[in-house]
C-alpha cells in the first residue's frame, strides 16, 4: 500500500512538472519547453535585423575648398580673418581654421544679412584647438554676405563672402 501511495505522489509531482503550475505559464520545476521555445522565435528576427543607419552626413561640397584662417592678435584680445574677403561659387566649401590661441567662431548672423536666405548655421561652433576647422558648404544664392567672430566682433573681426 505504501508503495502505491509513493507511486501516486510521484506521478502527481511528475504531472505537475509536465503541465506547469505557476501563474506565468511556467511550472514549479522551472522547465517549460513551450515557454523556452517562444522567446527564441521572437528574438531571432531582432538579432538578424540590420543595424540602424548612421545619421545623414551634411551635403558634400561639389566645388573648391577655400581656407580662411582665424588669427589671434593682442594676446587673444582680438583677431582677424585671413583673408577677410572671399569670393566663391555655390557648391564650394569655405574652411575656417583657427590658430587655437583663443576661442573663435564664424557667424553669418541674420542681422548682418537682412533678407538673405540659406545662411549657414555656424554660430554655435566654437573652435578652440590649433588647426580645428569649421567647413561651410556654400548653398546661398549669388550675392554678398557678412560674417563675424562673435567673441571678437567688437574688436573688428569681420569678413565678407561673395557668392558668384
Task: Check which CATH number belongs to the domain holding 92 and give it.
Answer: 2.60.40.420
What pLDDT is attached to residue 87?
98
Say whether both 139 and 81 belong to one domain: yes
Share of the chain above pLDDT 70, in %: 63
- 120 with 147, same domain: the answer is yes
- The per-residue pLDDT for 46 is 42
Residues 131 and 83 in one domain: yes
Per-residue pLDDT, 88: 98
What average pLDDT does this structure show over 30-46?
Answer: 42
> Does residue 90 sit in the same domain as residue 155?
yes
Domain-located, residue 122: yes
Please give the average per-residue pLDDT across 90-118, as a whole number: 97
Residue 56 counted as domain residue? no
Q: How many CB atoms lie within 10 A of CB 79?
A: 24
Domain containing 98: what range? 65-163
pLDDT above 90 covers a percentage of the chain that reads 58
Closest-CA residue to 58 (of 117, 139, 1): 139
* Preceding omega of 26 cis (within 30 degrees of 0): no
Give the least confident one: 4-13, 96-105, 155-164.
Answer: 4-13
At residue 22, the 3 state secondary structure works out as coil
Asked if residue 148 has pLDDT above 70, the reply is: yes
The reply to whether 87 and 156 lie within a common domain is yes
Cα–Cα distances in Å, from 58 out to 61, 70, 75, 94, 138? 9, 23, 35, 14, 12
Domain count of the chain?
A: 2
Same domain (yes/no): 115, 83? yes
Distances (CA, A) of 59 to 35, 52, 125, 135, 143: 50, 20, 18, 11, 21
Asked if residue 31 has pLDDT above 90, the reply is no
pLDDT at 55: 35
One domain for residues 133 and 101 = yes
pLDDT of residue 151: 95
Residues 134, 104 contacting (CB under 8 angstroms) = no
Q: Are 80 and 94 in contact (CB under 8 A)?
A: no
Is 144 inside any structural domain?
Answer: yes
Please provide the size of the chain in residues. 164
33 shares its domain with 80 = no
Q: Cα(77)–Cα(149) distance, rounded to whole angstroms? A: 12
**What pLDDT is stored for residue 92 in this prediction?**
98
Is 55 within the bounds of a domain?
no
| Predicted pLDDT at 75 | 84
Higher-scoring residue by pLDDT: 60, 138: 138
Residue 92's CB: how many other CB atoms inside 10 A?
19
Amino acid at each position: 500500500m505504501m508503495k502505491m501511495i509513493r507511486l501516486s505522489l510521484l506521478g502527481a509531482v511528475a504531472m505537475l512538472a509536465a503541465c506547469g503550475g505557476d501563474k506565468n505559464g511556467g511550472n514549479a520545476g522551472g522547465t517549460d519547453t513551450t515557454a523556452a521555445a517562444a522567446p527564441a522565435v521572437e528574438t531571432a528576427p531582432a538579432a538578424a535585423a540590420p543595424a540602424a543607419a548612421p545619421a545623414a552626413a551634411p551635403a558634400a561640397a561639389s566645388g573648391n575648398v577655400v581656407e580662411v584662417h582665424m588669427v589671434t592678435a593682442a594676446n587673444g584680445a582680438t583677431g582677424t580673418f585671413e583673408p577677410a574677403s572671399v569670393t566663391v561659387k555655390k557648391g564650394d566649401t569655405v574652411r575656417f581654421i583657427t590658430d587655437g590661441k583663443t576661442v573663435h567662431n564664424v557667424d553669418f548672423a541674420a542681422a548682418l544679412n537682412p533678407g538673405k536666405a540659406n545662411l549657414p548655421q555656424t554660430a554655435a561652433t566654437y573652435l578652440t584647438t590649433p588647426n580645428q576647422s569649421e567647413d561651410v558648404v556654400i548653398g546661398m544664392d549669388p550675392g554678398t554676405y557678412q560674417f563675424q567672430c562673435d567673441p571678437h566682433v567688437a574688436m573688428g573681426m569681420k569678413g565678407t563672402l561673395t557668392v558668384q
